[in-house]
Amino acid sequence: MPYEQDGAEAKEIAKYLPYFPFKGIDRFYDIGGFLEKPEVFQQIVDIFAARYDSIGIDAVAGLDARGFILGPPIALALKKPFIMMRKKGKMPNSISSADYNVEYGKRSGLTVQRDKINKGDRVLIIDDLVATGGTLSSAISLVEMCGGTVVECACVVELKLFIDPPADSGIPSRTKLFKEMNINHVPVWGLISEDVLTVEAKLHEDYEDDGEEH
C-alpha cells in the first residue's frame, strides 16, 4: 500500500519536526528533530525507498545542503548513485542553473558535475522541504540541461500554501513558477504537510532569531 501525504506514518513523524521562529519566518521546520531519532530517520528512508523502488529511478540527486543528509541513505537503500547539486564554486567541472528565489531571499543557481547525469537518466530529486519551489526548479533545470528526466521531486515536508495561492494573496505560487519555466510536467511529492506539523519548539529564554537572512 503506497504511503499517503499526512497519513498515519506522516502524523507520527510530524511529532519530531518542531518549528522555530527563524530567518524572519514564524514557522521554520527543523529536520534536526528526527535526525536525532534513528528509528524515525530510518522510517523516513524506508518510506522513500519503497516509493521509488516501485516507480523506478536511475539516480538520486540531493540538494545542498539538507538533501545531502537525506539523499545518500535513500540512494544506498535503492542501490543507486547519489549526485550532489551544490552551490556555485564548490565543485570542479560543473555546470550551473540560473539564479532563483526562495521564500526568504535570492540564491545563486545550483551546480552539478558534467559527467554525473547521462541522457535519458531517470533522476529523483531529494530535499528536506518544498515551499516556493525555487530550489527545486533550479535542480530540475540542471537535470534537463544534462538530458535527464526528473521522475519526481521528493521532500519530507511540503508547504501546501505555496502550491497555488490566490493571486491577490502576495504569496509566491509554485504552480505559476513551474508553468513559467515549462517544468510543470514534473511532479512534487511531500510526505508531510503543514496541516499536521503542529509541534512548537520549546525555546530558551535567551533564544534569538540569528538566521542569516530576513
Q: Is 103 tagged catalytic?
A: yes
Of residues 86, 103, 144, 194, which has the active-site annotation?
Answer: 103
Kind and range of the H or E run holding 158: strand 149-158
- Cell numbers for 26: 514564524
Radius of gyration of the chain (CA): 17
- Cell numbers for 171: 504569496
In our burial notation (b when 16+ CB lie closer than 10 A, e otherwise), range 15-43 reads ebbbbbbbeebeebbebebbeeeeebbeb
Beta-strand relationship, 59-63 and 122-130: parallel
Which amino acid is located at 169 in the chain? S
Mapped to the 3 state alphabet, what secondary structure does 92-122 carry? CCEEECCCEEECCEEECCEEEECCCCCCCCE
Of residues 4, 36, 51, 66, which has the active-site annotation?
Answer: 66
33 alpha-carbon distance from chain centroid: 17
Phi, psi of 163 (to 5 degrees): -65, -55
Q: Which single residue is written with the C-alpha cell 543507486?
A: 80
- Active site positions, annotated: 66, 103
